[in-house]
Structure 1
Amino acid sequence: MASIGQIVEQTPTNDVLSRAQARAMLVPDCMVEAKRIANTVIAGWHGRRKRGIGENFWQFRPYAEGESLSRIDWRRSARDDHTYVRDREWEAAHTVWLWADLSPSMMYKSTLAQVSKESRALVIMLALAEILSRSGERIGCPGIMEPVSSRNAAERLATAIMHAPQATGLPDTAMIRGQSDIILIGDFLDEADAVMNRIAPLGRRGLRGHVIEIADPAEETFPYSGRTEFVDPETGEKLVAGRAENIRDLYQRAYWARRQALGEALRRLGWSFVFNRTDHLASEALVAVHGYLSGMPAQRAIERPTGGKA
């Protein structure tokens, strides 16, 4: 059986120029939608508590190599096999790094969805930039935009994305310093171990991370039947299924096992994990991430949905 990333009907593209032009045309509409969603949810998004040098307890998180041993909470660490640091609340703004996967696999849009995965990722990213900048946070995008503290950070990020070069894979994060938050948005269709090999070093550096997986409903339900050709958008490799319905169960087991494994690995790292289907509201992901940023995460199990809404 081909990898998860290949069992998705796609149209590959090798034309870098047309790809950049399509993105440039998409971003303005995404910015409008992002502002609409931000205005909808911001009434309930009050100033969030922040991690730093304040006196009040904020959270426990895994110890990162190089930190002072005096920061370790030995009582909490004694409960299991991990070493934990006690973080405290702060008042000053810090940096939230936002990144959205803009690789070819994100262009996918089935007939079951109203928007592509790329469009949804951009809307969530820009809406987060809009809301966080209004809260006084510094917003940056690794490899695309240096951190800025400005009320128009979302517009500046949108402009930077329009002119960004084509890239695949997770971004270069060498420029990120200190106790920052990083929010990664993409489809993460690679095997969980491969994804974690790239993410785990960020957690060990002390970054507080949040992962948002974007999924098309067809990727979860696999509605195909009869003779169907599947094309990997990254490599162009093809898989032809004579009777696609015969591999549905095998595909779905692999798909859900990948998501479950990724979520569990991220939580062990101390990171949050949420997912958003493109036939659901984008605001669902915003509210979920806000819960983690504010220290009040909503409980959400990884379960197979029974339906969606536009």
Structure 2
Amino acid sequence: MASIGQIVEQTPGRDALARARQRAILVPDCMVEARRIANTVIAGWHGRRKRGIGENFWQFRPFTEGESLSRIDWRRSARDDHVYVRDREWEAAHTVWLWADMSPSMMYKSTLADVSKESRALVLMLALAEILARSGERIGCPGIMEPVSARNAAERLATALIHAPLTTGMPDTVMIRGLSDVVLIGDFLDDADTIMEKIAPLGRRGLRGHVVEIADPAEEDFPYSGRTEFIDPETGQKLVSGRAESIREEYRTAYLARRDALGEALRRQGWSFVPHRTDQLASQALVAVHMYLSGMAPGSERGSSR
């Protein structure tokens, strides 16, 4: 996503081949980290479970007249004076589309963080895929992977990401139909109106959405002082400040106002908004998004922001 007015410290611009190679190297490590984090936050099934046709055992219940005798579980019935039927579970799985921004601005990592925004976004996306796949949900990625319902959906998504072409900006969502969930992960540094112009049509189509804003701590705290050169990683535009500390408060006010405006616009649309810093535990954002997907809003939508 375009980074209007982003403050960065790194060298801008890499060709598409170099970016593709970097992502291919990054994804396997992110998959390992994603599985580790997913294992720490899984708490029961996300899928809606009820009696019906399926492969997994659900419950025993008394046999009622008129049912097929083939459904009787004779071993369980032999334990007492009642005849029992072995019900199986029906999983009302739906589709969750996951997307992470891979624009150049996501490569940023200041000295205040251990990982880049890109790395954190990939970890969160793959960890969500791991949790949702274990819950029996169908997982897809717009323009990269058609929805699949499989225990190894996260691994399949990681493989698809390695071989996917590089794209910038919001994903193509014409293939998303029905009552699906959409999880968008990125830095979302454009102004709120520009972002909502792209997101609002999804809401009008009845899609339930969740936005995770990834921020480097330096982007939020602006720890710079003295003569500092800032470079936009997507345009190469430079800004030199003789006394960077003199604009700290004005910058922070504008940065947080942009975030508040985006969060409010998303909530009016009925979407959730989770701000997350790369110097915090990935599990914090993962738990928040999973709760929203499960229909249980966390205590505070800004809990992961300082």
Aligned twin of 1:275: 275
Aligned twin of 2:46: 47
Question: Structure 2, unaligned stretches of length 5 or more?
Answer: 50-89
Aligned twin of 1:27: 27
Alpha-carbon distance in 2 for matches of 1:45, 1:168? 35
Aligned twin of 1:178: 178
Aligned twin of 1:106: 106
Maintained 8 Å contact 1:260/1:302: no
SS at match of 1:25: helix
Deviation at 1:290, TM superposition (A): 1.3
Q: 1:157 to 1:224 in 2, by over 3 A?
A: same
Deviation at 1:291, TM superposition (A): 1.2
Aligned CA RMSD, in angstroms, stands at: 1.7
Maintained 8 Å contact 2:106/2:187: yes
> Which runs of 4 or more aligned residues in structure 1 lie more than 4 Å from their structure 2 counterparts after TM superposition?
303-306
- Superposed, which structure 2 residues align to 1:70-219 within 5 Å? 91-219=91-219
Letter in 2 for 1:6: Q
What is the TM-score when the length of structure 1 is the normalising length? 0.82
Answering whether residue 266 of structure 2 is matched by residue 263 of structure 1, we say no
Q: 1:102 to 1:304 in 2, by over 3 A?
A: closer
Letter in 2 for 1:168: T
Deviation at 1:304, TM superposition (A): 9.2
Question: Structure 1, unaligned stretches of length 5 or more?
Answer: 51-89
Aligned twin of 2:53: none
Maintained 8 Å contact 2:47/2:93: no
What is the TM-score when the length of structure 2 is the normalising length? 0.83
Alpha-carbon distance in 2 for matches of 1:39, 1:8? 34
Q: 1:250 to 1:45 in 2, by over 3 A?
A: farther
SS at match of 1:6: coil
SS at match of 1:139: strand
Letter in 1 for 2:46: G
Alpha-carbon distance in 2 for matches of 1:275, 1:28? 25
Maintained 8 Å contact 2:285/2:304: no
Aligned positions, number: 264
CA offsets, 1:147-170, max 9 Å, x none?
A: 111111001100111111111100
Alpha-carbon distance in 2 for matches of 1:251, 1:45? 43
SS at match of 2:147: strand
Greater C-alpha radius of gyration: 2
Q: 1:126 to 1:5 in 2, by over 3 A?
A: farther
Alpha-carbon distance in 1 for matches of 2:176, 2:198? 15
Deviation at 1:305, TM superposition (A): 5.1
Alpha-carbon distance in 1 for matches of 2:233, 2:185? 18
Maintained 8 Å contact 2:93/2:138: yes
CA offsets, 1:53-80, max 9 Å, x none?
A: xxxxxxxxxxxxxxxxxxxxxxxxxxxx
